[in-house]
Amino acid sequence: MDEGRQRAIASEGGRAAHARGTAHEFTSEEAREAGRKGGEAVSQNREHMAEIGRRGGEARGNAHRRALAARAAAEEESKRSSRPERSYSDSSRMGTPGRE
């Protein structure tokens, strides 16, 4: 039996058990213990843990770079919007027409 069919059968059984009220429901303590066991099992694989750490570090670095770029763009926009517009008549008063 292929994995997809097996999952479908198990899923139907789980729905039926919940409908009948006979399905096992974890207490918070049971769930905590299961999570602890799973975490211990996963953490034994050093390559997997290194990959998780690497991806997390890369994601943090990328987020930091995006934040810096957004801040720089906002500052540049702020500078542009706070400068008064200069017209030709403004530059002509400075002595040389058309030059700033």
Q: pLDDT of the chain along its 100 residues, tens only? A: 999 999 999 999 999 999 999 998 899 999 999 999 999 999 999 999 999 999 999 999 999 999 999 999 999 988 888 766 666 665 555 555 555 5
Contact between 48 and 42 under an 8 Å Cβ cutoff? The reply is: yes
CA distance 91 to 100: 6
Tell me the domain boundaries of the chain: 26-80
Q: Which two tokens stand for residue 51?
A: 């990959």
Q: What is the pTM of this model?
A: 0.42
**DSSP code at position 84:** P
Q: Looking at residue 38, what is its pLDDT?
A: 93
